[in-house]
Chain A
Amino acid sequence: MIGSLVFLGAFYAVLAVVAATVACAAIRSRRALAAQQVDEIRWHETFHELPPSERQCRHVATGEFRYRECPHAFDCRICETHTRLVARKPLILRDTPQEEIFGMSFPLDRFYHRGHTWVRPEPDGTVTIGLDELGRRVLSSPDRVELPPAGAGLRVNGTAWRVHQRNADVRLLSPVEGQVVEVGGPDWVLRVKPADGCPDLRHLLTPEEVRPWLLREMERLQLALSPAAAPTLADGGVLVDDIAANYPEADWDAVCGELFLQG
């Protein structure tokens, strides 16, 4: 009798634990969906599937570390190390209004996101978001662009807008959190009203970090375009305007995945 109770009790206990676990996961999922955490979770999953070489801390590009895997999914706002380093480092004001790298211009009146979008604070308190020059040359001839409607909410590292080109389906990463006010401007894609009055842009690259970051990005792009070829940018030269046309056999899905942190 005792044997029966122990035996069956143990089994039903284990079954109950397993069922409770699944139920718990289901309930938490419902809550997460309701709280619109889908973008956050998607980015979290994507980030953790990137190989270690693509998860390097921004301070590796600027030489402060030789090797450091970002522990915060590129969200430098919550990173103590970043705060500490920024406090130590003096701000060197640059006179030049833009960087010229490989024939591409990177205006320095804006902040760059590692997914190649940028944010420019506007005088009226909104911010504008766009695709940087390198991104524009990679997505030079899109088949379809899906912009969010006005009023849509954006989260940091969530999907800002989608571009389809060849076999690639790219969800460009949003650099800020806020609400879309307007779409499709002359030199920007989205105008966004930030969630807080003064948006926290610490996770975005500062003008000084743009050049070392882009050097590495160009290396990665070169490898993605033709894995067999060694990087050939050391000798200078200018990036062509329409990369897609020049590399017809490249797996565009893989190239965009690499560059725009698609996972």
Chain B
Amino acid sequence: MDRQLIARRLPRCPARQFVLWLLPWTALLAFGLYAAGLCLVKGLNQTNMDNRFAFGLWIFLDLTVIALGAGAFFTGFLVYILKLKELSAVIYSAVVIGFVCYSGAVAVLLVDVGQPLRAWFTFWYPNVHSMLTEVTFCITCYLTVLFIEYLPIILKNRKLRQVPSFLVFEFQLHKLIYVLAGAGTFLSFFHQGSLGGLYGVLRGRPFAFREGFAIWPSTFFLFIISAVAVGPAFILLTTWLVSKISQRRLVKPQVLDLLGRISGLLLSVYVLAKTVDTLIWINRTSPGSGFPAWQYYSWNPFGTWILFAEIVVFGLIPALILLIPRLRRRTGWLVSAALMACLGVALNRFVLTVQTLALPTLGFDQFVSYRPSWQETGTFLAVVAYGVLVYSFSFRYLQLFPQERALEAAPAAEAEPVEEEPVLVGRYSL
């Protein structure tokens, strides 16, 4: 029925089946929009956030989703600037995922603030000392860049590219894609870092406060490293998931292997840096503020297990799995390790957003707990549903995986053929 909109020779499920797939996600989106609408209309009292827990599920979600969406800029950097051509198999998918992650995060942020209509104040009265100003500027700029990178992918749609101006514009824009990739990398470097800096500069929260280099606390750099480490892992995970759901082979196994290797390497660097940072924090920074570090872990349920889980279980272990070729070759290990890496980063963001606020600062303070209300959860689920819907449409109507057709044409995965000099054989020898 919609065959004309789908690229030639890319089999996709019948339209009816597609609609059936969309229905539950659309319902979830509708429910989530209702929940978000309540928060916008009635006020943030609809949430379970309060004066002690000023940030809750949404900020945790924002930070995690932006870290996972780092695959977009990092893959772009690797493909267009470092010319790692193998990863061009996933770059379009990465851009769509990045777009979905960032637009979802911005949407949630607009619901999270008390006065969304005043969002432009940050641009008009910027406070250059505040990490949040940096985040705001960078993320809005980067969302624009992502949209501009998404545009050619949309314009390549089979029906849309029939329009000559769209075809030509897409072609010309793609010739300059490396500029956008460079801008994206620059912006991402800063906002991934600033999101870490948000917490690292908080003198009033010694649990989160870190020393650093110039105006940038160590969490600035740690967030960047963890984001670039988990970006490829998330791309790996989503590619595998989409491949499973659509029952299609989308990329050559070497691509997933390469993503795993990059992720493993960067994850190891991150674990090392994080360990050093944690040791400095425990032994110098935190006591310097008058807060002995062991004391943070004396509150249930946040015992030292959380530190161990973050750095070792969901950090070191997936890093090692991804670095061992024998394990990496097995899809089960590869995907599990990627999932654990993503969970590790989510845990890190959780610790910094939720645990920081739960811990008391004043001597007569209490440890407080927080559980999101259904409106908050609904809004979070709306973002997930939005992401799935946008990606589903993109997967069906746009060519996200350039290798898909090649894998269709030549199913036997042979070794990469090598070009040679002409062999003067046969009827054409002198």
Contact = CB atoms under 8 A, between A and B. Distances in A.
Chain A in direct contact with chain B (Cβ < 8 angstroms): yes
Interface of A: 3-4, 7-8, 11, 14-15, 17-18, 21-22, 24-26, 28-29, 32-33, 37-38, 41-42, 44-45, 49-54, 59, 62-69, 81, 85, 88-90, 92, 167, 208, 253-254, 257-258, 262-263
Interface string B177-198: 0011001001100000000000
Given A24-B176, A85-B422, A167-B3, A51 B164 contact: no
A8 B9 contact: no
A49 B405 contact: yes
Nearest to A28: B172
Interface string B306-348: 0000000000000000000000000000000000000000000
B422 A65 contact: yes
A260 B102 CA distance: 41
Given A11-B138, A253-B3, 11 more contacts: A7-B126, A7-B134, A18-B144, A22-B173, A26-B172, A37-B168, A49-B405, A51-B405, A53-B410, A59-B422, A64-B428
A29 B144 contact: no
A33 B165 contact: yes
B403 to A, nearest CB: 8
A31 B417 CA distance: 39
Given A64-B423, A88-B424, A51 B406 contact: yes
Interface of B, secondary structure class, is helix
B169 A62 contact: no
Contacts of A64: 422-425, 428
Nearest to A208: B427
Interface residues of B, number: 51
A8 to B, nearest CB: 7
Nearest to A255: B9
B167 A41 contact: yes
Interface in B110-160: 126, 128-129, 133-134, 137-138, 141, 144-145, 148, 156
Contacts of B427: 62-63, 92, 208
Nearest to A52: B406
A41 B9 contact: no
A18 B180 contact: yes
A27 to B, nearest CB: 9
B188 to A, nearest CB: 11
A254 B169 contact: no
A253 B422 contact: no
B237 to A, nearest CB: 26
Contacts of A8: 126, 128
B296 to A, nearest CB: 32
A49 B399 contact: yes
B409 interface: yes
A3 B128 contact: yes
A63 B192 CA distance: 53
B430 interface: yes
B419 interface: yes
B169 A29 contact: yes
B42 interface: no
A89 B428 contact: yes
A54 B186 CA distance: 38
Contacts of B144: 18
B418 interface: yes
Nearest to A69: B419
B405 to A, nearest CB: 5
Listed residue (B4, B172, B186) with the most chain A CB atoms within 10 angstroms of its CB: B172
Contacts of B8: 253-254, 257, 262-263
Given A25-B176, A67-B419, A51 B409 contact: yes
A223 to B, nearest CB: 8
A11 to B, nearest CB: 5
A38 B167 contact: yes
Given A25-B176, A51-B410, A63-B425, A11 B141 contact: yes
B290 interface: no
A258 B9 contact: yes
A124 B28 CA distance: 70
Contact of B183 (A17, A33, A258): A17
A24 to B, nearest CB: 6
Contacts of B128: 3-4, 7-8
Interface in B379-430: 399, 402, 405-406, 408-410, 417-420, 422-428, 430
Interface centre among B8, B144, B173, B425, by most A CB within 10 Å? B8
